[in-house]
Amino acid sequence: MKTEVPVIIAFIAGMLMIVSFFSPHPVFAEPAAMMRNWAIIITAFAYVLGVANIARISAGAVRTRGRDWRYKIVMLLSLGAMLGAGLVGGIQGGSVFDWNYNNVMVPMQSTMFSLLAFFIASAAFRAFRARSVEATLLLVTAVIVMLGRVPVGERLWSGLPAFTEWIMEVPNMAAKRGIMIGAALGAISTGLKMILGLERSYLGSDK
Amino acid sequence: MSEAGDRNGIIQKLSQVDRRLIYLVVLVCAVVPLVIGARVTLSVSPPVRGLFDAVEELPPGSYVYLAADYDPGSLPELYPMNIAFVEHLFSKDIKIIAASLWAPGPPLSQRVFDDIAPRYGKVYGRDYVNLGFKEGREAVMVSVAEDLRRTFPEDYLGTPYGEIPMLEGIDNLTDVSLIVNVSAGYPGIKEWVQQIATRFDVPIGGGVTAVSGPEMYPYIQSGQLVGLLAGMKGAGEYEQLLGKPGLGLAGMAAQSSVHVAVIVFIVLANVFYFIERRKKL
Amino acid sequence: MKPLTLIVSGIVLAAGIVGVATGGVDSQVFGTWVAALLTLAIFSFLYKDNPVYKMAEHIFIGVSAGYVVALEYWNVFIPNLWNPLVSGGNYILLVPFALGLLLFTRFSPRASWLSRWAIAAMVGSYAGFAVIGALQGDLIAQVRASMIPIYSGEAVASMSLAENTNEYIFAFLGVVQNPLTIIGLLTTLIYFFFSREHRGSLGVASRVGIWFLMISFGASFGYTVMSRVSLLIGRLHFLLSDWLGVIQ
């Protein structure tokens, strides 16, 4: 029950997806469509589970006065406020939920990611050294691409944008395709191992 | 000895400069062009031209599925693309079915529609619809390709599928002429290509963050993508082709100056590195 | 967290809410100020980690988590599960409903094995998608697209038609485009073949593959810088335009 049933479920689900690709026959297509709808629903529950886990761990930290417990209270209050606004008031435009999204979530998420610009500039100065032929190749390409993708590059050499595009379309594309083909072979092998029950790490341990 | 010693000391200090000074230089390089309102002209790359031409060739009244798979973290790069696509599609009287595989996507789509639709006299439900978000990644993609109504029984605001006039006769993705995906990561354009492009024979194009741009070139070369915008520059190129400068073009002067700053940092750092290496030899 | 930070933040927030509720403050103006102050709170991390940043960070985590759940409820649970089940009589949906609820048994050490059933359904489905997607989208399509002619007569002819240095350079790049693509692809694949030691001709090919990989990583780095800088420009544009009104 603990291992055999999940492995059988994974086999049926996976094989339905694969077989329905090759055969449009309703015998396979209908159950596959149903399975896809079920996967959508179950995945939604998984996201709720993730949030419930965050809340549980944070509540535990508050109870035991763990690290940053006061900030955890702020986090739980924010979670409750947003969830309450969404469930009670709805998610349509003009709602409190929508206001929170536009004026709290959007600015903060955008700003979090924009910090990376500073970090990458700092890393460029502190860490990127042409210590070898390969590193030099990487740095020279990076400089050409950075110049070629902005108007300043075109002022230096009128052909730089086109040359940059050639670098993207030829050597970059060739290497990326090699990586893609290698990754595809790996994904096919791992996917088949999971479906056939040879790979069971996703089930966790039995202890 | 003292002059050489002084020079080496300066190089040592410069190579260990406080990172906050670097942050300040980046900030100044970004702010100044924005404040002075510097404008630039961009050269248009073939992938952007490819997508633009693909939309240009669509006849009026055709349907496009606009998959807004992004979140506020990628707003500056992808929101201008979303705007540019909607402007282009509306200008050609093409009907837009918008949906998202990312939870924060639908309000961003809706914001674009609320801004742009009135300018073209477009009406919700007749000319465009926002089906909202659905969890499920690849499962949703294949489900949408086979049965749109079953996947999205209601739109973003709860209107049943059957009560939306423009969706009459639209059963799945084979009824649309083009899929345009604005993609911030996973799930996104790579998965759309893998699951839909070859299997259902629907042309796909779109925009990605610049980070993802280089790995999409194999799909462009193979024809699985009809065109691609990468980053704010891609958005700026599309705006330029459209003749409607927007947020994409507005940021390119600042982009230029920060790029030059980063290149100067790299060059300086390597100059110091080689000087110190020669000293040790 | 210093109590002063909490008290000041609470007073500012309460004042704003009261202002909007009584009509004394426009909600859009208040919203812009909230967005700007939260933006500056996050940016304060660049100077050093501080309580204002930490508080903003935790507000963000809470709001994001609440957002996702509310959206799952309205966009998935109600239309895809509840309505078809309750109003439509589609009782087979009790199965995914039960499997979804079983996921929460993970909180109980004794019953957590039940969650494996739901996990297996998800993993099996997505493994199936991955196999099909990788096979037809990446492997076959990409190998097919690699079947290109090494020699292109048209490209060679264009070299003799070049009228200036730029045109000659790009005509030459056009001639070497296909051979370089094939060499790059094959040597990259050879580099990832670890079943034999990279010596002799295999070593040389592998080395060439590394060079192509380094070029592609350099291109990726350049694009990554571009991406990060764009994100910064976006936030600065908001602060300078929407908040301070310094730019249009």
What are A11-50's pLDDT values in tens digits? 999 999 999 888 888 888 889 888 888 988 999 999 999 9
φ/ψ bin of B98: left (φ > 0), alpha (ψ from -120 to 50), beta (otherwise): beta
pLDDT at residue B7 in the model: 59
pLDDT at residue B67 in the model: 97
Q: What is the rounded distance in angstroms from the CA atom of residue A141 to the CA atom of residue A135?
A: 10
Name the burial class of residue B142, with classes exposed (0-12), middle (13-18) and buried (19+) by CB atoms within 10 angstroms of its CB: buried
Q: How many residues does chain B have?
A: 281
Q: Do A36 and B143 touch (CB under 8 A)?
A: yes
Is A11 inside any structural domain? yes
pLDDT at residue B122 in the model: 97
Same domain? For A13 and A74 the reply is yes
Measured over the CA atoms of residue A19, residue B200, residue B47 and residue B114, the dihedral's sign is negative
Using the Cβ of A188 and the Cβ atoms of chain B, whether some distance falls under 8 Å is answered with no
Residues of chain B with Cβ-Cβ distance to A165 below 8 Å are 45-46
A110 vs B75, B199, B267: nearest CB: B75
Q: What is the rounded distance in angstroms from the CA atom of residue C9 to the CA atom of residue C4?
A: 8
pLDDT at residue C75 in the model: 85
- C35: nearest Cα among C56, C18, C61, C11: C56
Residues of chain C with Cβ-Cβ distance to B197 below 8 Å are 137, 141
pLDDT at residue A91 in the model: 85
Beta-carbon contacts of residue B193 (< 8 Å; ≥ 6 apart): B204, B219, B224, B225, C137
B135 vs A47, A102, A161: nearest CB: A47
pLDDT at residue B157 in the model: 82
Using the Cβ of B124 and the Cβ atoms of chain A, whether some distance falls under 8 Å is answered with no
Is A183 inside any structural domain? yes
**Residue B207 C-alpha, separation from nearest chain C C-alpha, in angstroms:** 13
pLDDT at residue C160 in the model: 85
φ/ψ bin of B158: left (φ > 0), alpha (ψ from -120 to 50), beta (otherwise): left
Task: Give the rounded distance of the alpha carbon of A55 from its chain centre.
Answer: 22
Q: Give the domain extent around A133.
A: 128-207
Q: Domains for chain B: give ranges and CATH numbers.
A: 2-39+254-280 (no CATH), 46-244 (3.40.50.10160)
Task: Give pLDDT tens digits for A72-103.
Answer: 999 999 999 999 999 999 888 788 998 999 89
**Residue A161 C-alpha, separation from nearest chain B C-alpha, in angstroms:** 7
Block means of pLDDT (10 residues each) for chain B, length 281 residues? 59 75 94 91 94 97 97 92 97 97 92 95 96 90 92 90 95 95 95 90 95 96 96 96 92 93 92 84 70
pLDDT at residue A29 in the model: 86
**Residue C33 C-alpha, separation from nearest chain B C-alpha, in angstroms:** 18
**Residue C164 C-alpha, separation from nearest chain B C-alpha, in angstroms:** 20
Q: Do B256 and A128 touch (CB under 8 A)?
A: no
Q: What is the rounded distance in angstroms from the CA atom of residue A51 to the CA atom of residue A44?
A: 11
Omega before residue B245 within 30° of 0, cis: no
The DSSP bridge pattern shows strands B95-100 and B128-133 to be parallel
Q: What is the rounded distance in angstroms from the CA atom of residue B142 to the CA atom of residue B126?
A: 25
Query: Which residues, in sequence order, are bridge partners of residue B248?
Result: none
Contact B135, B189 (CB under 8 A): no
For residue C183 the two structure tokens come to 């060499």
Which helix H or strand E contains B129, and what residues bound it? strand B128-133
pLDDT at residue B278 in the model: 84
**Residue C232 C-alpha, separation from nearest chain B C-alpha, in angstroms:** 8
Percentage helix, strand, coil, to 5, in chain A? Answer: 80, 0, 20
Question: Minimal Cα distance from B47: which residue of A?
Answer: A165
HSE toward the beta carbon, residue B173, CA cutoff 13 A: 27
Is A2 inside any structural domain? yes
Same domain? For A82 and A134 the reply is no
Contact C179, C186 (CB under 8 A): no
Residues of chain A with Cβ-Cβ distance to C113 below 8 Å are 1-2
pLDDT at residue B277 in the model: 84
- Across the range A155-176, mean pLDDT stands at 95
pLDDT at residue A162 in the model: 94
Block means of pLDDT (10 residues each) for chain C, length 248 residues? 64 65 73 94 93 94 93 89 90 94 91 90 92 92 94 85 88 94 96 91 95 97 94 93 88
Which helix H or strand E contains B65, and what residues bound it? strand B63-69
**Residue A64 C-alpha, separation from nearest chain C C-alpha, in angstroms:** 16
Same domain? For A81 and A164 the reply is no
pLDDT at residue C20 in the model: 63
Contact B262, A120 (CB under 8 A): yes
Q: Mean pLDDT in chain C? A: 89
Q: What is the rounded distance in angstroms from the CA atom of residue B138 to the CA atom of residue B135?
A: 9
Q: What is the rounded distance in angstroms from the CA atom of residue B138 to the CA atom of residue C126?
A: 7
Q: What is the rounded distance in angstroms from the CA atom of residue A13 to the CA atom of residue A39?
A: 9
The dihedral formed by the CA atoms of A179, A181, A186 and A189, expressed in degrees to the nearest 10: 180
3-state secondary structure of B13: helix
Residues of chain C with Cβ-Cβ distance to B40 below 8 Å are none
Question: Minimal Cα distance from C81: which residue of B?
Answer: B153
For residue B257 the two structure tokens come to 């100056």
pLDDT at residue A173 in the model: 97
CA–CA distances in Å: residue A122 to residues A143, B21, B168, B234? 16, 9, 55, 26
Alpha helices in B19-104 (DSSP H): 19-36, 46-56, 75-91
Neighbours of C110 (CB within 10 A): 7
Q: What is the rounded distance in angstroms from the CA atom of residue B130 to the CA atom of residue B67?
A: 10
Task: Give pLDDT tens digits for C87-99.
Answer: 888 899 999 999 9
Q: Mean pLDDT in chain B? A: 92
How many domains are there within chain A?
A: 2
Task: Please name the residue that has the structure tokens 């072979």.
Answer: A185
Q: What is the rounded distance in angstroms from the CA atom of residue C129 to the CA atom of residue A204?
A: 22
Name the burial class of residue C155, with classes exposed (0-12), middle (13-18) and buried (19+) by CB atoms within 10 angstroms of its CB: middle
Which helix H or strand E contains C63, and what residues bound it? helix C51-72
Q: How many residues does chain A have?
A: 207
Is A98 inside any structural domain? no
pLDDT at residue C22 in the model: 63
Which helix H or strand E contains B229, and what residues bound it? strand B228-230
Contact B177, B204 (CB under 8 A): no
The DSSP bridge pattern shows strands B178-183 and B128-133 to be unpaired
Beta-carbon contacts of residue C113 (< 8 Å; ≥ 6 apart): A1, A2, C105
pLDDT at residue A180 in the model: 95
Contact C75, B156 (CB under 8 A): yes
Q: Read off the amino acid at residue C187.
A: T
* Number of helices followed by number of strands (H, E) in chain A: 9, 0
Q: Do A93 and B114 touch (CB under 8 A)?
A: yes
Task: Give the rounded distance of the alpha carbon of B63 from its chain centre.
Answer: 21
Residues of chain C with Cβ-Cβ distance to A142 below 8 Å are 218-219, 221-222, 225
Chain B 230-259, CB below 8 Å of chain A: which residues?
Answer: 233, 252-253, 255-259
Name the burial class of residue A4, with classes exposed (0-12), middle (13-18) and buried (19+) by CB atoms within 10 angstroms of its CB: exposed
Neighbours of C92 (CB within 10 A): 12
- Across the range A157-171, mean pLDDT stands at 95
Using the Cβ of B99 and the Cβ atoms of chain A, whether some distance falls under 8 Å is answered with no
φ/ψ bin of B136: left (φ > 0), alpha (ψ from -120 to 50), beta (otherwise): left
Using the Cβ of C13 and the Cβ atoms of chain A, whether some distance falls under 8 Å is answered with no
Using the Cβ of A134 and the Cβ atoms of chain C, whether some distance falls under 8 Å is answered with yes
pLDDT at residue A85 in the model: 93
Of the residues A27, A62, A89, which one is the last residue of a structural domain?
A89
A106 vs B19, B72, B143: nearest CB: B72
CA–CA distances in Å: residue B65 to residues B61, B95, B131, B172, C237? 13, 9, 10, 10, 30
